[in-house]
Structure 1
Amino acid sequence: MLGAMRAWVVEGTGPPGEVLRLIDKPVPDLREGTFLMEVGAVGVGLPDVFMCKGTYPLAPKEGSFTSGQEVCGTVVQAGDGVGLEPGQRVMTVTSFQTGDGGFAEQCLGLGHSWFTVPDSMDDATAAGFLIPYHTAWIGLVRRGGLKAAETLLVLGAAGGTGAAACSLGAALGARVIGVAGGPERCDTATSFGAHQTVDHREGDIAAAVRELTDGRGVDVVYDPVGGDAYTAATRCVARDARIVLIGFASGEWAPVNVRHVVQRNYSVVGAIPARYSREERLDDHRELSALWDAGSINSVVTASYRFEELPEAMRALESREVIGRVVLDLSSG
């Protein structure tokens, strides 16, 4: 036992403001394949909201738990074979599935999912980099096969996940069309790299995209939204297009119509970093770090909250008041 720490725990199921509690709890013991780290900053995402509500499939199944999927911080202690030494600064996916996530002063990182932090990247930026950008790389490069000069449609382009796809797609030489709700969010999508935007509040997404592409449609769709947005995207794809499914920010997974897929000659694929080897992930991170160092991709973090403000950060995220990626910065408390 390594002492006590402050941590946010989820007790029960319901809106974040009703089930989150800030308590003192024991520092977690190392589990096989993990390391203990001092948290500098932690990303806040919709999956954390869904965990509070009991609707996220990867959440701990029983009892109270601490969520928070990705962090940046300093290694305190590492298990055998993890390859880390105390004092190293890394970004990592946490052991949130065991309830030892990043909404705490110390957490457990996964020994197969840690990566070095570029010298020019601060903790808050790094805490919002790993999941959005690694997912974007796997979705666009490995699964979507995006090529320079192709047209990429990004749904949810003003959210953290979509923003990373806009930035990376532009860096890879694609023409990027971002879908967002309202002028402010469309402007934000443009700032992240979208060359053109579609305001889904102003009319039919598919009609607007077909007009922007002279009726041809898009080559790749990046979909972290699901639901009706996915269905609209299927009506504006080119022949041989690839639709990459990332998540369900709408609350509904993509309702894939297999008959339509066959009749229109497009592909639907899923993308998740967890299914790739350590060596493949390291290769991806080197590519992304080089793009960061060259100034070709941007930070998607747009809002930072103090550690004590987690319920407010989740409320703002759930109500779509914030744009881009949200983090808790423990150095600001």
Structure 2
Amino acid sequence: MHALRFERFGGPEVLSVGEVADPVAGDGMAVVAVNAASVNPSDVMVVSGGVEGITLPRIPGRDFAGVVLEGPDAWVGAEVWGTGGDVGSRLDGSHAERIALPVSALARKPGTLDFAEAATVGVNFVVGWLGAIETAELAPGETIAVFGVSGGVGGAVAQIARATGAQRIVGIAPHAPAVGTPAAEVIDEFVPFDVDTDVPAEIRRITGGRGADVVYDAVGGVTTPSAVASLAHRGRLVVISAIGTSTAEIDLRDFYHRDLRMLGADSRKLDVTAFAERLKRISPYFERGQFRPLPIAQTFDLAHGPEAYRAVAEKKVRGRVVIQP
């Protein structure tokens, strides 16, 4: 089969498309023909060497959607989707014509999504679900503020919050989500993150002085002080990233006097089977139309895989980038 591979760390220029051996469905394994696989910023980070524990050479790529070619009879021919913290890093990934997975990692793709749409879901919605629902325990009737709402994870969090009963959703980003996108349609208020805006003051104004019960910070680092200051009494902050700086200064007396909680959520700790379990929980929301796939900005064939990575690395497009082997 053909696959995108890298033998040293670096930018998109270290990626090349070549012929590699077809994966084999050994005991407890299945082989999936990859119809579509998105390129995430975390994939770019893997290739650049920014993730620990990567052995080379490696086929990158986390998210995928395709058809089971080999495995148990009950699964052969099934349309599936998946992703994993180990896929594309400790295991060969989805930016190839085929991928081998444990049978326990197979999850049926919602019929409401085509392959390209399904390939945009994995990382963004599972990370969003992990942080908002499992970690912060966002409850119906609560207010959530989402830093990075215009991005993949932030946009997914906004949809998750709306579908699970959040009373008010405030989106924060340098630019508002594009009109007509799922995130733009579910947020109640938008606050620009720029030098002219006091974000915590705006969130307090919107919430009648309370602040947000949950702040989901999909950016982190440069946004952390504002995120902490935006919390209501006994509020919960979820951090999944650190952009610009890996440290942040907060007022500890203010932090404990307001009974605040700061929580980390690291999807890399979840393997492909653990991701599949969560995709099965998320799938009914897509079937009912409560979740919508993220907008696709550009598609590439496998031969132009390095260009797909370059588009993501250089942030040339607003929306998801998908490889269709």
Instruction: Tell me the TM-score normalised to structure 2 length.
Output: 0.86
Deviation track 1:14-61 (CA, whole Å, cap 9, x = no partner) reads 222x21111111123446654221101002101111112101235x23
Work out whether 1:46 is the aligned partner of 2:41.
yes
Cα pair distance change 1:54/1:286, threshold 3 Å: closer
Q: Does 1:216 align with 2:206?
A: no
Q: Does 1:23 align with 2:18?
A: yes
What CA distance in whole angstroms lies between the structure 1 residues aligned with 2:307 and 2:275? 37
For structure 1, list consecutive stretches of 5 or more residues without a partner in the other structure.
none
Compute the displacement of 1:120 (Å). Answer: 1.6
Q: Equivalents in 2 of 1:256, 1:278: separation in Å?
A: 37
Structure 2 counterpart of 1:9: 5
Give 3-state SS (helix, strand or coil) of 1:228's partner.
coil
Change (3 A) 1:87 1:276: closer
In structure 2, the residue matched to 1:141 is 133
Alignment partner of 2:305: what SS?
helix
For 1:128, the equivalent position in structure 2 comes to 120
CA shift for structure 1 position 98: 3.4
CA shift for structure 1 position 242: 1.0
SS in 2 for 1:312: helix
Aligned equivalent of 1:107: 99
In the alignment, which residue of structure 2 is the partner of 1:245? 239
Contact 1:93 1:110 in 2 (8 A): no
Residue number among 71, 75, 81 corresponding to 1:91 in the alignment: 81
Q: Are residue 195 (structure 1) and residue 188 (structure 2) matched? A: yes
Q: SS at 1:23's partner residue? A: strand
**Residue in 2 aligned with 1:57?**
52
Whole-Å Cα distance in 2 between the matches of residues 84 and 256 of structure 1? 54
Identity of aligned residues (%): 27
Structure having the larger proportion of residues in helix: 1
Residue type of the alignment partner of 2:3: A
Query: Which one-letter code corresponds to 2:324 in the other structure?
Result: D
Distance in structure 2 (CA, Å) of the matches to 1:280 and 1:186 = 30
- Give the distance between the partners of 1:280 and 1:310, measured in 2 at CA: 24
Between the two proteins, the alignment pairs up a number of residues equal to: 318
Q: What's the C-alpha RMSD, in Å, of the aligned pairs?
A: 2.8
- Residues 1:113 and 1:22: Cα distance change in structure 2 (over 3 Å): same
Alignment partner, residue 164 of structure 1:
156
Local SS of the residue matching 1:152: strand
How is 1:144-155 mapped onto 2 (pairs within 5 angstroms)?
Answer: 144-155=136-147
> Residues 38 and 75 of structure 1 are in contact (CA less than 8 Å); yes or no, is this contact kept in structure 2?
yes
SS in 1 for 2:89: helix
Once the two structures are TM-superposed, the CA of residue 130 in structure 1 deviates from its matched residue by 2.4
Mark the CA change 1:47 to 1:32 in structure 2 (over 3 Å): closer, same or farther: farther
The residue identity in structure 1 corresponding to 2:149 is: A
Matched to 2:322, the amino acid is V
1:67 is paired with a residue of what secondary structure?
coil
Tell me the residue number matched to 1:232.
226
TM-score by length of 1: 0.84
Bigger mean CA deviation after superposition, 172-181 or 200-209: 200-209
Structure number with the bigger relative contact order (C-alpha 8 A, sep ≥ 6) is 2
Partner of 1:328: 323
The amino acid across from 1:67 in the alignment is: P
Which secondary structure state, in structure 2, belongs to the residue aligned with residue 97 of structure 1? Answer: coil
Q: Which runs of 5+ in 2 are unaligned?
A: none
Residue among 170, 181, 185 paired with 1:177 = 170
Measured in 1, the distance between the counterparts of 2:40 and 2:275 equals 25
- The 2-side partners of 1:280 and 1:75 are apart by 17
Tell me how far apart the structure 2 counterparts of residues 177 and 306 of structure 1 sit (CA, whole Å). Answer: 34
User: What CA distance in whole angstroms lies between the structure 1 residues aligned with 2:262 and 2:48?
Assistant: 29
How far does residue 99 in structure 1 lie from its aligned partner after superposition? 4.5
Shift of residue 272 of structure 1?
A: 4.3
